[in-house]
């Protein structure tokens, strides 16, 4: 059976062979010539990863090809973590306009400037971004992308390697990059959309930030932030207190004018510490006075429910879905669900037997409420459909 979107997966220590097998399987399942190929490689030796990436790029000379190294890959309806493997995804995108790009940073006086950003056309829909977290300022670039790309959605993830810093490899149209970021801009007659599942459940009430200093929350609803947090935790049952101890999160409301703020209405950030002397709570973002926040917890059951809910809602809006790219946090998979297959299985369950591939990322890129962000513990999905969203 052939289609416009297809994936392939190959596991094995010979990464060049695995790359050829994975990409070959994806290409063989397409109904037409590939216009875009994405591949993801998990391997012990960065040089082996580079050779495998070069082999993968040679298999689709007429297509735009991007890829990266990772600590785990997704394809053929399953995830493979910390094991030599290659996943691939191929798409026939008739009439679409594809522009691959490579980003780098240059020092300019007291700041860094990102170079290589592609020119945006009026009918561009989305850009896939794969970045080296050790050498590229992904958070700053993504948060400020509106300055150069307007409201263009960014979707993708932070690459990694099994050897950490220095082992990341990025691939774009025949070239291997040891640092920076690469990606592809998609425009023209396409129906694409994004889904971001943050997988958190609110605890306690929504509260307005009444005093803050950089990433410190000093007051919530007119009371010391730490006192507010202690009151909330004291009212929880034992199970939720364990979730708080395992990793408390906080949600920043994306729509200040909503009457209520429930799950899915927040941008999730981590609570990274407390300052007992100032009765403050430190979080992984800067929140201005006047914003609404709500503490959150995350567990496997909540993350499972959230992913299925957002995918089901998305499917109802889209009609027929043909393919998807999945960027899942490396803290999900077996670490959260007990299986590396959870997220790709969820996509198959909700969106159907479509071509899906991706990787386990060191951070995920995706829009929430129309603004691009870098996330943690999320599943970010780029969905290709045959009909326009309702």
Please give the radius of gyration of the chain, using alpha carbons only, rounded to the nearest integer: 21
- List pLDDT tens digits, range 107-133: 777 777 899 999 999 999 999 999 999
Cβ atoms 373, 144 nearer than 8 A: no
Cβ atoms 323, 384 nearer than 8 A: yes
Between 108 and 140, whose confidence is greater? Answer: 140
Of 204, 207, 206, 202, the C-alpha closest to 221 is: 207
- List pLDDT tens digits, range 55-85: 999 999 999 999 999 999 999 999 999 999 9
Give the per-residue pLDDT at 386.
79
Cα dihedral sign, 249-194-158-368: negative
Q: Do strands 321-329 and 355-361 pair parallel, antiparallel, or not at all (unpaired)?
A: parallel
Band (pLDDT 50/70/90 cuts) for residue 248 is very high
- Mean pLDDT, rounded, for 357-375: 94
Residue-level length of the chain: 390
- Mean pLDDT, rounded, for 12-24: 98
Q: What angle do CA 291, 151, 124 make, to 5 degrees?
A: 160
E-strand ranges in 244-290 read 249-253, 266-275, 280-283
Tell whether the model's pLDDT for residue 162 goes beyond 50.
yes
- Taking the mean position of all CA atoms in its chain, how far away is CA 179? 19
Between 183 and 201, whose confidence is greater? Answer: 183
Give the per-residue pLDDT at 1.
53
Cβ atoms 330, 366 nearer than 8 A: no
Give the per-residue pLDDT at 291.
94
The token pair at 88 is 């691939």
Tell whether the model's pLDDT for residue 261 goes beyond 80.
no
Q: Per-residue b/e over 285-322, b at no fewer than 16 CB within 10 Å?
A: bebeeebbbbbbbbbeebbbebbeebbeebbeebeebb
- Mean pLDDT, rounded, for 73-99: 97
Q: Do strands 124-131 and 154-158 pair parallel, antiparallel, or not at all (unpaired)?
A: parallel
DSSP single-letter state for residue 264: T
Q: First CA to last CA across the chain, in angstroms?
A: 29
What is the pLDDT of the chain when averaged over all its residues? Answer: 93
Band (pLDDT 50/70/90 cuts) for residue 259 is low
Longest CA span, the chain? 65
Strand, helix or coil for residue 376 = coil
């Amino acid at each position: 059976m052939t289609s416009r979107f297809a994936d392939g997966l190959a596991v094995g220590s010979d990464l060049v062979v695995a790359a050829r097998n994975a990409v070959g399987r994806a290409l063989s399942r397409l109904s037409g010539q590939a216009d875009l190929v994405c591949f993801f490689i998990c391997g012990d030796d960065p040089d082996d990863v580079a050779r495998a990436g070069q082999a993968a790029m040679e298999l689709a000379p007429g297509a735009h090809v991007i890829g990266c190294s990772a600590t785990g890959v997704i394809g053929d309806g399953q995830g493979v973590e910390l094991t030599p493997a290659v996943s691939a995804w191929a798409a026939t995108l008739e009439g679409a306009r594809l522009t691959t790009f490579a980003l780098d940073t240059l020092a300019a006086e007291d700041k860094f400037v990102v170079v290589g950003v592609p020119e945006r056309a009026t009918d561009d829909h989305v850009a896939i971004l794969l970045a080296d977290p050790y050498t590229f300022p992904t958070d700053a670039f993504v948060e400020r992308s509106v300055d150069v790309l307007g409201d263009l959605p960014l979707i993708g993830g932070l690459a990694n390697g099994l050897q950490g810093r220095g082992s990341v490899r990025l691939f774009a149209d025949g070239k291997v990059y040891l640092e920076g970021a690469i990606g592809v801009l998609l425009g023209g007659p396409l129906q694409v959309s994004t889904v971001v599942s943050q997988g958190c459940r609110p605890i306690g009430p929504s509260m307005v930030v009444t005093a803050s200093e950089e990433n410190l929350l000093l007051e919530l609803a007119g009371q010391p932030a730490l006192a507010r947090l202690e009151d909330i935790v004291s009212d929880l049952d034992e199970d939720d207190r364990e979730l708080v101890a395992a990793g408390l999160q906080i949600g920043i409301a994306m729509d200040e004018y909503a009457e209520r703020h429930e799950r899915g209405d927040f941008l999730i950030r981590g609570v990274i510490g407390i300052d007992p002397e100032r009765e403050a709570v430190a979080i992984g973002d800067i929140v201005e006075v006047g914003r609404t926040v709500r503490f959150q917890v995350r567990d496997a059951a909540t993350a499972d429910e959230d992913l299925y809910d957002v995918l089901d809602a998305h499917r109802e809006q889209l009609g027929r879905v043909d393919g998807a790219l999945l960027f899942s946090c490396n803290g999900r998979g077996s670490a959260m669900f007990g299986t590396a297959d959870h997220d790709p299985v969820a996509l198959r369950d909700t969106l159907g037997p479509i071509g899906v591939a991706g990787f386990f990322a060191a951070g995920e890129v995706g829009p929430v409420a129309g603004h691009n962000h870098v996330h943690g513990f999320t599943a970010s999905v780029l969905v290709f459909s045959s009909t326009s969203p309702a």
